[in-house]
Amino acid sequence: MTKSGVTKLVKQLAPKLSVKHAKAADNATRAGGQTVRKIQWKASPSTTMQTIFSANGLTVVGSCDSSSNITVDATGPVADNGELRIQGDTATGGPFFKNYAGFNSASIVSPVSADGGHSEGSGQLVYATADGHVLTLDYGFDWGTVGNATYHNTFVGCTLYGSNRFRRPRRAGGSGRALRARAVPRVPSNGGYRDFHN
C-alpha cells in the first residue's frame, strides 16, 4: 500500500486522529493538563525525616529507623483547608481507609497504614485544595532488612515508589501562567536516596 493509501485509510478509520497530538501524548510529564511524575524514595536504615514530594500544598515526608521500620506522613496547606482520602492494602494488616475533610498543615496522616512498623503494600492518595486543585498519588511501599531485602534482595531500608498527577496552581493576578511545583532534587541524604524521574 502506498503512503497516500495509508493516509487515506487512517483518515477514514480515525478522522480526528492527529499525529501532532499523538506526539504530544508521548510526553509522559503532561497528560490532560496535569503534570505526571514518577517517585522513587529509597532510604537506608537510620535515615531521619526527609521530604519525598511536595506540590499544591501537600507535603509527603518519610524516615526509616535502624530496624527498617518505615514512617511516611502527609501534611496539608497552611492557609486553605483541603480534602484527603487514602485507601490501600498491606501484606499483613489488610485494607485501610482514611478520610480527612479539614486537611491542613496541622494534620499528620500516614499513607502506609501505620507508621513505625515493617509495612509493605500499596495505596492511592487523593488530595484536593479548597480552591479546586487536585493531586492523585498511586504508590507502593516496602521495607527490607539484611536477609530479607527489597528490590529482588538488593536493598536494605525503606522505600516508597509510584506516580502522581496534579494540576499546577495558577499565578495570582490572572496571568494564566502556571507555577512550578516544588520537587526534591536527586540528593543523597543521611544514606538515603530519593529521585524524581521525569
Whether 14 maps to a domain, the answer reads no
Whether 7 maps to a domain, the answer reads no
User: Structurally, how many domains does the chain consist of?
Assistant: 1
**Domain range holding 83?**
29-169+179-192
Asked if the model's pLDDT at residue 197 lies above 50, the reply is no
The chain-wide mean pLDDT, for the chain, equals 76
Look up cell 511536595; give the residue. Answer: 54
Whether 16 maps to a domain, the answer reads no
- Asked whether the beta carbons of 133 and 35 are under 8 A apart, the reply is no
Whether 3 maps to a domain, the answer reads no
Asked if the model's pLDDT at residue 62 lies above 90, the reply is yes
Residue by residue, what is the 3-state secondary structure of the chain? CCHHHHHHHHHHHCCCCCHHHHHHHCCCCEECCEEEEEEEEEECCCEEEEEEEEECCEEEEEEECCCCCEEEEEECCCCCCEEEEEEEEECCCEEEEEEEEEECCCCCECCCCCCCECCCEEEEEEEEECCCCEEEEEEEEEEEECCECHHHHCECEEEEEEEEEECCCECCCCCCCECCCCCCCCCCECCEEEEEEC
pLDDT tens across 65-94, in order?
A: 999 999 999 998 876 678 999 999 998 888
Asked if the model's pLDDT at residue 175 lies above 90, the reply is no
Q: Read off the pLDDT of each residue in 129-142 and give the average, rounded to a whole number.
A: 90
Residues 150 and 65: their CA atoms lie apart, in Å, by 16
Asked if the model's pLDDT at residue 181 lies above 50, the reply is no
Could you tell me the pTM of the whole model?
A: 0.69
Q: Read off the pLDDT of each residue in 144-156 and give the average, rounded to a whole number.
A: 87
Residue 82: predicted pLDDT: 87
Whether 6 maps to a domain, the answer reads no
